[in-house]
Amino acid sequence: MAGPAFFTRIPILKNCSTASLIIRFVRFFTSNCPDDTVKENNFLLQNLSTLGVDIKMVRRRQPGILRKQITNENGLVSFLKSKGAEDKTVASIISRYPRSITRSHDYLEKRWLLWRSVFKNDSEIIKIIKRSPESFFRSSDNNNLEKNIAYLCSLGLTSKDLHRLLTTAPRTFSNSLELNQQMVEFLQDIGCSLGGKHKENFAKQIISKNVYILIRSTKRVKANIDFLQDVLHLNNEELLHLLQGSGSEILDLSNEYIKRNFKSVEEKLDLLGCTNEQTTKFIIKYPLALYVSSGNLNNKINCLLEGGITINQILEKPKVLDFSFENIKGRLKTLEEIGYNFKENGISVLDCSRTRFEVKINKLTSIKN
């Protein structure tokens, strides 16, 4: 008979425990039952509809909110509008994070001020809330936010770093202070144990290079560091060097993903006649090879090979893989048309900005004519 294992193979039910499965089935079969919605606050429902909020989405995300008797949606709307948000933005914000309507005026004022201590103007903040309402509204603890900002500053992160952190990974600031501290201390410990000279700086370095790190679990980051050390046969010094360099960029990947990609790179290069040592060197030189999806990476490699470039040239200059498949393809075609010789001239021409590439091509064609 079909047990939980069977049901979890259905995409929507993936990752569900037996208990939550039962709840889901009950919800599913009773979702059209009037009893389920009878407790909802009709006045609130009306109000939200008028504001253009997607009620279905609210019901799916945070059904409890619709049963509340006291909410502050009107206050929220006027607050966000006073900061420059459009009606339809506010509606979308509430639809995606319904709990936002439970935040009080004082909360909103205080939180806004704290965010403003990092951002230059209101519109920057609106842009981020629009992108990720949850990041702004999820925590009700403004004191914690204040402490986080102070803490991150105390690490020596510049205001520019802070700005980038809050812009790109706004969730960082809704983490509990303790969680952020845990990650920082974890990173500092790693730096120490690898014999880093500027021990206090190691965590700071990683964070400013990879602003996503603080929204990952230490478990994940640790697993990735261990994996890299193991699979690349690195001693402490080499590992430290890697992590301080471009290795930091791949630390936040999911463990399985990074492993899968490593395996794929290994197989691909093996197929092309490379030694294990070459593969290892390649990854150390270009850790981003583990970041891109294996399909994408293989497409780029194939494309370069078909264009008359050797695998050794790629291993020497992996940066050419930074560019998109389309870009690489286009440039190879252009270069072929003018008879560019990679053997003589190398492949650096592929690793430059659009403007520089065009200048180069113009020059080559004018010489030809």
Residue 192 tokens read as 């120490």
With CB under 7 A as the contact rule, the residue among 245, 303, 305, 315 that binds DNA is 245
Report the residue number, 276 or 302, with the smaller CB distance to DNA: 302
The distance of closest approach from Cβ of residue 298 to DNA in the complex, given in angstroms and rounded to an integer, is 11
In angstroms, how far is CA 337 from the centroid of its own chain? Answer: 39
Report the residue number, 44 or 65, with the smaller CB distance to DNA: 65
| CB contact at 8 A, 126 and 91 | no
User: Cα–Cα distance between 331 and 339 in angstroms, integer?
Assistant: 12
Closest CA to 59 of 22, 30, 88: 30
Q: Does 238 bind DNA (CB under 7 A)?
A: no
Q: Does 134 bind DNA (CB under 7 A)?
A: yes
With CB under 7 A as the contact rule, the residue among 169, 190, 314, 335 that binds DNA is 169
Q: Does 259 bind DNA (CB under 7 A)?
A: no
With CB under 7 A as the contact rule, the residue among 30, 275, 276, 348 that binds DNA is 348
Q: Does 139 bind DNA (CB under 7 A)?
A: yes
Report the residue number, 193 or 293, with the smaller CB distance to DNA: 293
Q: Which residues of 331-357 are buried (b: 16+ CB within 10 A; e: fewer)?
A: bbebbeeeebebeeeebebbbbeeeeb
Contacts of DNA in 306-335 (CB under 7 A): 317, 319, 322-327
Q: Does 63 bind DNA (CB under 7 A)?
A: yes
Residue 210 tokens read as 């990879």
With CB under 7 A as the contact rule, the residue among 6, 20, 195, 337 that binds DNA is 20
CB-based burial label for 35 (10 Å; 0-12, 13-18, 19+)? exposed
Contacts of DNA in 79-98 (CB under 7 A): 96
User: Cα–Cα distance between 313 and 100 in angstroms, integer?
Assistant: 54
The distance of closest approach from Cβ of residue 1 to DNA in the complex, given in angstroms and rounded to an integer, is 21
CB atoms within 10 A of CB 199: 14
Query: Measured between alpha carbons, how far is residue 104 from residues 73, 79, 112, 142 in Å?
Result: 9, 10, 12, 12
Q: Does 293 bind DNA (CB under 7 A)?
A: yes
Q: Does 291 bind DNA (CB under 7 A)?
A: yes
Contacts of DNA in 193-232 (CB under 7 A): 209, 211-212, 215-220
With CB under 7 A as the contact rule, the residue among 27, 88, 105, 354 that binds DNA is 354
